[in-house]
Structure 1
Amino acid sequence: MSALRKRFTVSTAASCPAGTTLASTEKSSVQSREIGAALQLALRRSKLTQGTIAGRLGWSDSKTSRIVTGYTAATRLDVASFLVAAEVAPEEIERVSAVADLSPRAYSIQAHPVGLPDMLPTLLHLGANAHTIISYQPHQLPHLTQTAGYTETILRDSDLLAPQAVLDGASARQKRQTILSGPKGPATTAYIDEAVLSRPLPPQVAAEQRLHLRTLVWHPRCHLRIIPATAASTATTGFTLFQDDRGHEVVTAFTPTAMLVLDHPDHLAPYRQTITQLASRALTDTTSAVRLLASGTFGGATAC
């Protein structure tokens, strides 16, 4: 047996008898669903069946199913054992096990490089499993609508990141946007403050960003809506609401160096209220499109 297997293999008969679980909760949470999604991916890549993994670990079918579907909060030991049985790479075992090891509070506040929540696997998970996405950024274009050049410009202007970190961050943001191009991509609504469109950009960046917005405007599942400068102020940080096909809702709220992950109804309510306000103040899709593609957007001199 390899050193890796010795490190992670446990006596499941002693620590978790068949038919029992080590769940800290029986309620599905965003944390348990993220772990479950990682285990499902490992299962598909291994080409093993769920029953085979359960047999290797001495788990009941019920326990295995609830962990994989996210309806049981698995322990770090459960996660590591499952991934070892699925013959997953050591670095992925460490990453997913670390997520399982987080307390709910620690999971709900995730640190990241300045301005770059895109580096967090949780954000990738939420986007990849979303049926609906609603986003708002008060001081820049919503992340899923940005070109790489726009992102690099915004990050460089902060003067807080090394050049390589800027490039890595822009690449990570572009990777997140691939969910919009898939055949079953989420219905996405992005609210944009009109003042953001007046921020001057380098000519080439401005032209590329307008061209990208034109593509999104014609996207059947994307809705870009402008909040006019004359509308009442919406005092909020940037945030995104994700809803999956089972109706689970999660909000990610952004600070400069941390992302809040919220799924309790009491925590979701203020953001739901803000979305209602934004929807009532925003221009229609058609009127917004005319403004977004205007030649003066981002200080551009020519139409794209």
Structure 2
Amino acid sequence: MRCAFSHHTDYQRQKETHPYVQAVHALTDIVEYRGRNPILYPDFIFIQTKIGKKFFKYCKFVHSVAERVINRRRETLQKECVSSRKFLDLVDILLTAKDENGDGLTPLEIRNEANTFMFEGHDTTSSAISWILYSLAEHMDVQNKVRIEVDSIMEDRQTDDLQWDDLSHLEYLGMVIKEGMRQHCPVPVVARQLTKDFQIDGHVFPSGTSVAVDIYMLHHNEEVWERPMEFIPERFSKENASKIGPFQFIPFSAGPRNCIGQNFAMNEVKVVLAKLVHRYKFELEPNHIPRKRASLVMRAANGILLRVSSR
């Protein structure tokens, strides 16, 4: 929130009780439930149900949170000289962006982009970090390689704060993160609506058809990936990355409607994991295997339990 919106919050201190966090979790659960219940597919039925009314109530609330943040930034921009600022946050960019005709984004378009950062940005990154830590605990050799790389950057420093230039040097950690996102898929499925007729294997799907792209299945397809169930960070090395097709690895979706925050998210995950591995050692909790629960975000149905010790 601070990086993207210059907005200070204490959401992380009220993880289970903050109304915004509760609303986001409720909305994802409702969407998942509706997707498995054909009776609720028609809007005119859904809006009459108790769960439908709850859905729109929470939608109204999360939209209001985004609008408050946007309006606060708009008021700030009106008082400041934008060109004199050292940097612009996400909302600043959205508010000041103009096309070749000098037209800016509409309030709805700005809110939609802000919602993507706020709604999806916190849940997906925490999912990725949690599952990658589990994989590091599973594969101590990989964890040790990450630690050696991080320690080489952190040595002789008074703090463990990473600098911007450090991120490009954490190459192996970047490979680990990509392999974690391939194996665990923070966003397991994305949906799209066809804007023109589309043909697959002789079958024509007409314009307007809603389709789902199962990212989890793609990332575990034996015809696409060699040994897909194994955790192998080296498949994303510089030598091997050139062999990966543009639509083979799509943790942030792909094409013109891919995730607006993917670079932000990758850097966020890299910073958090680097600092954690530098400070702590992670080991598996015996007799506990987390069970994946695919919703809008990949969760663990029974939690991810690890043993953590200070280095």
Instruction: Tell whether the structures are fold-level matches, with TM greater than 0.5.
Output: no
User: What is the TM-score of this pair, normalised by structure 1?
Assistant: 0.23
User: What is the TM-score of this pair, normalised by structure 2?
Assistant: 0.23
